[in-house]
Structure 1
Amino acid sequence: MGRRTQTKALIMLLGAGAVFLIVFFLIPLIFVLAESFIGTDGRFTFSRYIEQLTDRQFINAYLRTLKISLIVTPLAALMGYPTAYLMMRLKPTAKGILTSLVILPLMTSPVARTYAWIVILGRHGIVNQAVSGLGLISEPMRLLYTEGAIVVGLLQLFLPVMILNLTSALENVPSEVEEAALSLGSNRLGTFFRVIVPLSFDGLVMGVTLVFTGCVTAYVTPAVLGGTNLTLATLMRQQSLVLMNWEGATVIAVVMVITTVVLQSVLRRFRPRNQA
């Protein structure tokens, strides 16, 4: 009876989760997708996609979003892997402290973290004052309301996500595997790229997916730090709430979903065969 009770409880929990995802995620997603193909006369049409995909503002926003995402994601991976690897080599006390420092930004509101960059990157912010104090510039640099400001803000926002995913993956890599590679003549760098990275590739895929998806769909950071540099999220807000063009906003939402799904499919193809 104990096992049957546990099985029933597990089925109920899984069923509740499935119902929640279907009702609050899958059905709205299907509705948005179907709505993007229905014209004002109620018939199936591609006119909304043609209108958006040929609009210069949409093209610029889409390319800017891709460029920023493709800059932030590799930077997060390059900075996250050494940090996660170091965390796995530390003693439990030091590892706990470093993990707390990584998690701490996630406990702060993204709005507060984003607005903090205004103090740092503003014309009279910390960076400009420091560089000016060294005599390197004669007038303040324009750091705020640029694509670079968006990259910095998003990198700071999503780097902890990458580190936590890589740390979780590296924890599942047996230390004996690395020791065996070193004993067979491989150096530290070769062992890292030939052994550690392939064995933790699932964590990298998950981290890249979450960071890239977050960059594509982020609104607060591009809106606060980007100024007139529109991304897909800020353009969707403009289309829906300013211009009241809900049809165009729906198409933009579908494009966001398709972009992230395509990325994950591509990453899965690069998964090492011995991990499949």
Structure 2
Amino acid sequence: MSEEAAIRLSHVEQSRPHFQLGPITLEIPKGYVTAIVGPNGSGKSSTFRLLLELSKPDKGEITILGHRLGDGDDTKLKQRIGYLPELFGVHDKSMRGSYKTAFNRRWYPDWDLNRYRELLRVFEVDDSIRLGSMSKGTRRKYELALALAHHPELLLLDEPSSGLDPLAWRTMLDVLHRFMDSGDRTILMASHIVEEVKRLADYIVFMGHGRVLGVYEKDELFSNWHAFYIHSERFTRKDAEAIPGQCVIEETGGGTIRVVTKEAFAAEQWLEKEEVRLAGRQSLNLDDILAVLIEQERLRVRS
């Protein structure tokens, strides 16, 4: 990862009656898009709340853009951050978008009215409409325009495409790509949309059971995680345990063994050296990799 981190979490823990977050030690590199991927209840939204100081950790330290949270007034830091929540509150449903915009812009010295208007035009949003009358997708586009209008250094996106139709989704991707063009901005997003992660993310953080299960560079992730299919009467499950990086070994029937490895190149070399012929191979998608990591974490907790 980048030597300079936009976000650092060091041994962060938060205990709740029905959920334990952490301990989490994690660095989000500056100048890149990092996606947090995990099932519902994995701790993604809880982590976002900590970063926004909507809740406090019980242990550990959080540093954002070089500023340690809790050290004095964080107003100037928050002026450098844009945030798009997954869910919107009901308290402002009767408010017109333009009124909320007028209120929000007072907090940001770098608010750019021209940029805001440009984004509304691109997203085809009329901010004179009451927020409660907007469709879910329109409200999301409005809130994204609001989050981007002050040119934040760090953009936090919690399920950004929720409620968007395919055309609006493609427009959002284009806007976010352009947002990153300067090279000194950072996006941290939580998403369960595989195609969204593949198109936007440079790094992927897997979360499950309130913990970080792994951090990977996207291209390396997809090139390293593969499933090998081996069909041989002489090759046993015990033999498969020696394959480099093996994470899953299962018999699929008909004498075929499926082996999932996170070190595809080394595994392939090992198989060639052992003169084991492959019946097939397949690169794993994001959901498959997450399922393997979740199962490994479940076994770790059990043991």
Mark yes or no: TM-score above 0.5. Answer: no
Q: Which has the higher strand share?
A: 2
Q: Which protein has greater RCO, CA pairs closer than 8 Å, 6+ apart?
A: 1
Q: Which has the higher helix share?
A: 1
Q: Give the TM-score normalised by the residue count of structure 1.
A: 0.24
